[in-house]
Amino acid sequence: MNDPKHWNQIYSSQSPESVGWFRPHLETPLAWIADLNLDPHEPIIDVGGGASTLVDDLLERGHKNITVLDLSRSAIQIAQKRLGNASNTVTWLEGDVTQLELPPLYYGLWHDRAVFHFLIEPALRQKYVEAIRSSLKVGGNFIIGTFSPDSPPKCSGLPVRRYDAELLESTFGDMFELRHSVNEIHITPGGVKQPYVYCLFQRTA
């Protein structure tokens, strides 16, 4: 998962609208974020945001402190080109979330659609959990989307670890409270059904 060459090759050889995880808008996360009534300046990080349109929709809704983190420089460049001058208002981080040092207790919202489920090794999962614990402020929220148990065992040729809401809840521990969960079917541009689970957690300690 954490090989940028893999993802750069994908984004260099395919249009962003043709990759299997493409979705024009992330309706569920956007609805949950709207319900949170965040201050426009509340720091938000989209982990694995890459070429996703979430940043576009957040900017359109008035959010002014957005960070997009991705392994793939090609994915980031696609989003920057699409946003034009608006991209200058976004903080772009190229790197691996399990290795980067993020600002401590800074973010009010952490969003991740389909990064965590690529972390097959327990040590990498633990580093991811530690990254959230060190950089998400107390009272902050995080939204995570992963393949659910009846999804395919691979995505983009790579193995994934599948979750339900209960497993995600136990994975992130007592510092987080599960507020919402929903199961959805994502249909890829090629017509393949991929069941997802989305969860919204709030950091309580």
Which pLDDT score, from 0 to 100, does residue 48 have?
94
Mean pLDDT of the region 18-30: 84
- On whether the CB atoms of residues 88 and 66 are closer than 8 A, the answer is no
Give residue 156's pLDDT.
Answer: 85
Domain positions in the chain are 4-203
Task: Report pLDDT for 1.
Answer: 57
**What pLDDT does 20 receive?**
61
Which residue shows structure tokens 């507020």?
Answer: 179
Q: What is the CATH number of domain 4-203?
A: 3.40.50.150
The answer to whether the CB of 54 falls within 8 A of the CB of 111 is yes
Give the percent of the chain with pLDDT over 70: 97
Average confidence (pLDDT) over 46-73: 96
Phi-psi region of 95 (alpha: psi -120 to 50; beta: other; left: phi over 0): left
The predicted-structure confidence for 62-118, as pLDDT tens digits, reads as follows 999 999 999 999 999 999 999 999 999 999 999 999 999 999 999 999 999 989 999
- State residue 160's pLDDT score: 95
pLDDT of residue 173: 85
d(CA 20, CA 42): 31
- pLDDT tens for 109-122 read 999 998 999 999 99
pLDDT of residue 128: 97
Question: What's the pLDDT tens digit per position in 162-187?
Answer: 999 999 999 998 999 999 999 999 98
Tell whether the model's pLDDT for residue 2 goes beyond 70: no
